[in-house]
Chain A
Amino acid sequence: MNYSKPIPEITLLTEPFWEGLRSKELRMQACSQCSVLRFIPKEVCPDCSSVDYVWQQVSGLGMVYSYTTIHGGVGPAFRDDLPFVTVIVELDEGPRVMSHLINCLPDAVEIGMRVSVVFEDATEELTLYKFEPHDAGR
């Protein structure tokens, strides 16, 4: 597959996240001590400072916390996509996730809108997570 956009740096810490995506699962770290979920991956729980955690699948459901329709000022890899909608989604489980909103006209986006995760294979090794309106064509 030909994927010309930036690919993530996958580290020992973040590998389980990307591995989950290949199985069409959105996974977050859950603190072993206080159960709070966190994203982006970190070694320490920001709520209780515990360094113990497990990877846990989340629903992929959430709401638009904020968004912007990008019209310009991006690198060549994203120019063909203009305009596109970058969102920060607040998952029902709590953590916030930046991504792109797809299958939605820019004018139709609003804060609070229900969205769900969509998995997109970028390459044979890399699956990405995007979001779409929760009621989109299902």
Chain B
Amino acid sequence: MSDLRRAAIVGIYMTEQGKLSDRTAGSVYAESVLGALADAGLGVKDIDGIIGTGPEGAGIAGDFSDNFGVTLRFQAQTGVGASSSSSGIGIAAMAIERGYADVVIIPTASGGAIRPGSGTGGGPTPSSFEHIWGSNPAAVYAMAARRHMYEYGTTPAQLAEVAVAARKHATLNPASVMGERGLISVEDVLESRMIADPLHLYDCCLVNAGGGAIVMTTMERAQDLRTTPIVLMGWGEGFTFHDIMTAPSMTSFGGVVAATTAFAHAGISRDDIDVAGISDHFSINVLIELEDAGFCGKGEGGDFIAGGAIQLGGRLPVNTDGGFLSNSHGGGCGLYTVVELVRQLRGEAGERQVENCNLAYAHGTGGTFQGQYAAIFGRR
């Protein structure tokens, strides 16, 4: 593949995130698509491929054609829960680099009446053997956290550091849902209402609406566009189980193979990464993925994140937008993780800008650890 054909992110957009009770999912979706195109300096007629997640079927190819009057020649759908949209980045890059599509849009949107998981375009659903017990993502993540504590001595206070960092970053992100509420401390997290022991309220992601989109094209086309292209340098996915009862481990999942593949593909090391975005459906999520992605040894996540190491200014700033804990958890929110990394690499992150930011790592999880991808982005 010639470098000119290489896939890059050229457009990003996020709508307002929050209750959005007066917005339909469709309107959030349309705003997201148009916003990302405007950011890139492209028009709807330039789009010839879509990775569909979107609201209630919107985001699939035919619906996009209905809405925007364009003919598409490539589509794919991904069903890995909250990371559905962004997990399409790998497929989009392959389609672009092979010439099956030139400009691919990856939208996500939810609006109106919000229920957890709405707008994700589907994902791993629990079997009857979980459902009958009233199990939910919080319960599964809590049991992973409990097991991690048992195996490695991780503490609730260490988990709380994830939420503290996310809130600090949200206070520097004017568009975040929770930034206005101000900083929180480890004690605040530990004193917040218990949801599923050992996870407190502040260990759990937000439930809100919102949308966003990413536009990708070739490096060749990107030369004529208004934004700094952000290249996908490495990609990997990992799947090890569907039902938590059958998971080989409850403290390590498909993130290991995803990250190993992505770093090998990119030809860089963990130490080269300047900023990371890691799905934080629950605080334990970040800790486990930092380990599985190889930023620290297995079981060392608690020590790794202690003392502000994942805050801005720390050794590896993580979720500088505030993450799902304090920025937004609306729709296929894995996409927002990537949007933030693109902002960082472009140097457009304002008060929360990471200095000399050249390489970024995204780690998305969907469902309850089932769907995992790793992506490495760089500025060319």
Interface residues, chain A, with chain B CB atoms under 8 Å away: 5-10, 14, 38-40, 42, 46, 65-75, 77-78, 81, 86, 88, 95-100, 106, 111, 128
Contacts and interface: CB of A to CB of B under 8 A. Distances in A.
A66 B129 CA distance: 16
Nearest to B138: A73
Size category, B interface: 20 to 34
A68 B133 contact: no
Nearest to A112: B150
Contacts of B244: 88, 98
Contacts of A111: 146-147, 150
A39 B245 contact: yes
15 contacts: A39-B129, A40-B127, A46-B246, A66-B150, A67-B143, A69-B196, A71-B194, A71-B197, A72-B193, A86-B133, A86-B134, A88-B244, A88-B250, A98-B133, A106-B197
Nearest to A10: B128
A70 B193 CA distance: 11
**Closest 3 A/B residue pairs (Cβ):** A8-B128, A68-B142, A78-B134
Contact of B129 (A8, A73, A86): A8
Contacts of B146: 66-68, 111
A73 B136 contact: yes
A10 B138 CA distance: 25
A70 B195 CA distance: 6
B131 interface: yes
Contacts of B193: 71-72
Contacts of A97: 129, 245
Contacts of A78: 134
Contact of A69 (B133, B197, B250): B197
Contacts, number: 99
Nearest to A39: B245
Which of A46, A68, A74, A106 has the most CB atoms of chain B within a 10 A radius of its CB?
A68
A73 B195 contact: yes
Interface in B177-196: 193-196
B139 A40 contact: no
Contact of B134 (A6, A67, A128): A6
Interface in B189-225: 193-199, 204
A86 B194 contact: no
B134 A40 contact: no
Which of A6, A67, A86 has the most CB atoms of chain B within a 10 A radius of its CB?
A86
A55 B23 CA distance: 52
B1 interface: no
A86 B198 CA distance: 12
B134 A74 contact: yes
Given A68-B198, A72-B194, 16 more contacts: A5-B132, A14-B128, A38-B246, A40-B127, A65-B250, A66-B147, A68-B142, A70-B134, A70-B197, A72-B195, A73-B138, A73-B204, A75-B134, A86-B133, A86-B134, A98-B245
B359 to A, nearest CB: 36
Contacts of A75: 134
Nearest to A100: B133
Contacts of A73: 136, 138, 195-196, 204
Interface in B228-283: 243-246, 250
A78 B147 CA distance: 24
A130 to B, nearest CB: 9
A72 B195 CA distance: 5
Contacts of B250: 65-66, 88
A72 B207 CA distance: 15
Interface in B138-197: 138-139, 142-144, 146-147, 150, 193-197
A10 B146 CA distance: 31
A128 B128 CA distance: 12
B142 A98 contact: no
B67 interface: no
A40 B139 CA distance: 18
B130 interface: yes
A5 B246 CA distance: 24
Contact of A95 (B132, B135, B144, B245): B245
A6 B131 CA distance: 7
A128 B143 contact: no
A46 B242 CA distance: 12
